[in-house]
Amino acid sequence: MDTFTPPKNVSKICCIGAGYVGGPTMAVIADNCPDLKVTIVDVNKERIDAWNSKNLKNLPVFEPGLENIIERTRGKNLFFSSNVHYEIQIADIIFLCVNTPTKSNGLGAGKASDLKWIEICAREISTYAKGNTIVVEKSTVPVKTAEVLKNILNTKSNDKFFSVLSNPEFLAEGSAINDLQNPDRVLIGGEDQNSIKILSQIYSKWVDKNKIITTNVWSSELSKLSANAFLAQRISSINSISAICEKTGADIKEVSKSIGTDKRIGEKFLRSGPGFGGSCFQKDLLNLIYLCDFYNLPEVSQYWEGVIQINNWQKQRISRLVVEKLFGTLNGKKIAILGFAFKANTNDTRESPSIFICNDLLEEGANLHIHDPQVQETQIIQEFKDHSFNNPNKEGYGSWEFSKDIDKVIKDANAAIIVTEWDEYSSINWQEKEKIMSKPSWLFDTRLVSNSKSLEKTNITYWRLGNKINEDKNY
């Protein structure tokens, strides 16, 4: 590290990975730093083409506020390219925003993060970069990854030098632009103080200096995993309480509010639901569990395992309840699935609770009609394929279709299940929908967004997560 002299005039940034993190993060940097030229590269040509598409509705990532920023910056100081090697070669700073999913085979399969893509990037950077380059880990990685990166980067020649920083991303999908524009903190871990200063200066163009935290590289890497583990733990905690509410007559919203007013607990992240989804919580928890096992900390590892177990149980208990309430069989029954994204305001379906709930119901022979305002049918096909679900040849396995028309999905349905908290589901007029549903009709609201006033005026029997069921309906 002694030999590293940071680039004198930082003017070119390259980001490897044009996904949910790379795209929005770099767009916000470009927007706030007009003097920097930011280029996002990806091996996925289709994704790059989509980022370059004239029609902003075709961007590969849906995030409120993103289109406006892309419109302002694209072609001015923000570029999307497939020319990975060239952009690496000319960059002063390279951000790594590639995927780090859970390993599917080999050592640590099912727990450890697969660092294949990080390693490929490191090799490419080591080959194509010129001069002194700052390499920034933005992907979420296990502790000590920076060391692996440094080792690979420094193998090629003695006329190029690298400084590795850890700068994990804390944005949440659906609110990514706001999170990036007004972050709670920006975390930068590293050894080389000059490199840290350069990266801090970029963020300080729009982030208050007090919010820029600098640490050693290992603290930074572990803080990211820990933050996600704590957030996931809160969801499993409140979901475990939701089950007690259903047994006792307590109301989970009232309980969340009551405990959240305690400043030490805080009101955020206490919404009970069908379990956490998204590409990161489970992956990062598994990664943490793997680390604990690696360092022979079985008690700590079991503690975090519990968070995942409750999350899986929450999804399963919802599917079981639906089957039970529909007289123990779903064979030939039409069920409307409202929402396939893992949360509202995103088109991301990775690890969405909907995938698992749908599969459980298909296993029971249900005929699912799925609706989501932002998700495409091809994504659902891919998700079922990735999880080896949707086996139409299996005896008794149900069927599914997709529509963007809520009425079509609900018409003749025996039951509707709200799985994603999209705004449009909270404004559904159930008095109207009752007329087109099959009788007796059921609504299962796993997100507590349905309009209970409208529901009370109907003969639809409804179940709201974390509330005692009211089956007192006359047909």
Tell which positions 390-429 bind ligand NAD, by CB under 6 A.
none
* Residue 270 interacting with ligand UGA (CB under 6 A): yes
| Nearest-angstrom CA–CA distance, 186 and 16 | 20
Q: Which of 87, 137, 169, 173 is catalytic?
A: 169
In the complex, minimum distance from the CB of residue 138 to ligand NAD, in angstroms, rounded to a whole number:
6
* Residue 232 interacting with ligand NAD (CB under 6 A): no
Q: Which is nearer to ligand UGA, 231 or 409 (CB)?
A: 231
List the single partner that 43 binds among ligand NAD, ligand UGA, none, CB under 5 to 8 Å by kind. Answer: ligand NAD
Q: Which is nearer to ligand UGA, 170 or 294 (CB)?
A: 170
Which single residue brings its beta carbon nearest to ligand NAD? 19
- Are 420 and 447 in contact by the 8 Å Cβ rule? The answer is yes
In the complex, minimum distance from the CB of residue 226 to ligand UGA, in angstroms, rounded to a whole number:
12
Tell which positions 125-144 bind ligand UGA, by CB under 6 A.
140
List the single partner that 235 binds among ligand UGA, ligand NAD, none, CB under 5 to 8 Å by kind. Answer: ligand UGA
Identified binder of ligand UGA from the candidate list 171, 252, 335, 366, rule CB under 6 A: 171
Three-state DSSP at 86 gives helix
Beta bridge partners of 463: 444
In angstroms, how far is CA 364 from the centroid of its own chain?
28
Within a 10 A sphere around the Cβ of 210, how many other Cβ atoms? 7
Q: Which amino acid does the sequence have at 362?
A: L
Q: Which is nearer to ligand NAD, 122 or 202 (CB)?
A: 122
Tell which positions 122-151 bind ligand NAD, by CB under 6 A.
139-140
Q: Count of residues binding ligand NAD (CB under 6 A)?
A: 27
Over its C-alpha atoms, the chain yields an Rg (Å, rounded) of 24
Site string for ligand NAD, 170-189 (x = CB under 6 A): -x-x----------------
Identified binder of ligand NAD from the candidate list 279, 367, 458, 461, rule CB under 6 A: 279
* Residue 350 interacting with ligand UGA (CB under 6 A): no
Q: Which of 95, 138, 141 is nearest to 114 (CA)?
A: 141
* Residue 173 interacting with ligand UGA (CB under 6 A): yes
CA distances 132 to 10, 69, 85, 128, 296, Å, are 11, 30, 16, 12, 39
Q: Is 224 a catalytic residue?
A: yes
CA distances 402 to 252, 300, 443, 449, Å, are 31, 42, 19, 22
In the complex, minimum distance from the CB of residue 23 to ligand NAD, in angstroms, rounded to a whole number:
8
Residue 136's H or E segment, with its range, is strand 132-137
Q: Which is nearer to ligand UGA, 135 or 176 (CB)?
A: 176
Q: Which phi-psi region, left, alpha or beta, contains residue 143 (left: φ > 0; alpha: ψ -120 to 50)? A: beta
Q: Is 121 a catalytic residue?
A: no
Q: Which of 103, 224, 333, 334 is catalytic?
A: 224
* Residue 61 interacting with ligand UGA (CB under 6 A): no
DSSP line for 6-71:
--SS--EEEEE--STTHHHHHHHHHHH-TTSEEEEE-S-HHHHHHHT-SSGGG-SS--TTHHHHHH
List the single partner that 277 binds among ligand UGA, ligand NAD, none, CB under 5 to 8 Å by kind. Answer: ligand UGA
In the complex, minimum distance from the CB of residue 100 to ligand NAD, in angstroms, rounded to a whole number:
4
Identified binder of ligand UGA from the candidate list 118, 177, 207, 231, rule CB under 6 A: 231
| Nearest-angstrom CA–CA distance, 46 and 55 | 15
Q: Which of 280, 315, 333, 334 is catalytic?
A: 280
Q: What is the dihedral of CA 230, 234, 239, 242, to 10 degrees?
A: 160
In the complex, minimum distance from the CB of residue 411 to ligand NAD, in angstroms, rounded to a whole number:
35
Residue 214's H or E segment, with its range, is strand 212-215
| Eight-class DSSP state of 234 | H
User: Which stretch, 5-13, 43-51, 429-437, 448-456, contacts ligand NAD (CB under 6 A)?
Assistant: 43-51
Q: Which residues neighbour 174 within 8 Å (Cβ) at sequence distance 6 or greater?
A: 63, 64, 343, 344, 345, 346
3-state helix, strand, coil in the chain (%, to 5): 45, 15, 45
DSSP line for 305-368:
HHHHHHHHHHHHHHHHHHHHHTTT--TT-EEEEE--SSSTT----TT-HHHHHHHHHHHTT-EE
| Nearest-angstrom CA–CA distance, 224 and 235 | 17
Q: Which is nearer to ligand UGA, 40 or 280 (CB)?
A: 280
Q: Is 280 a catalytic residue?
A: yes
* Residue 318 interacting with ligand UGA (CB under 6 A): no
Site string for ligand NAD, 11-40 (x = CB under 6 A): -----xxxxxxx------------------
* Residue 170 interacting with ligand UGA (CB under 6 A): yes
Q: Alpha helix locations (H) across 94-144? A: 116-128
Tell which positions 75-104 bind ligand NAD, by CB under 6 A.
84, 97-100
Residue positions annotated with a catalytic role:
169, 224, 280
Interface residue list for ligand NAD (CB under 6 A): 16-22, 41-44, 47, 84, 97-100, 117, 120-121, 139-140, 169, 171, 173, 279-280
Interface residue list for ligand UGA (CB under 6 A): 140, 169-173, 228, 231, 235, 269-271, 273, 276-278, 280-281, 342-343
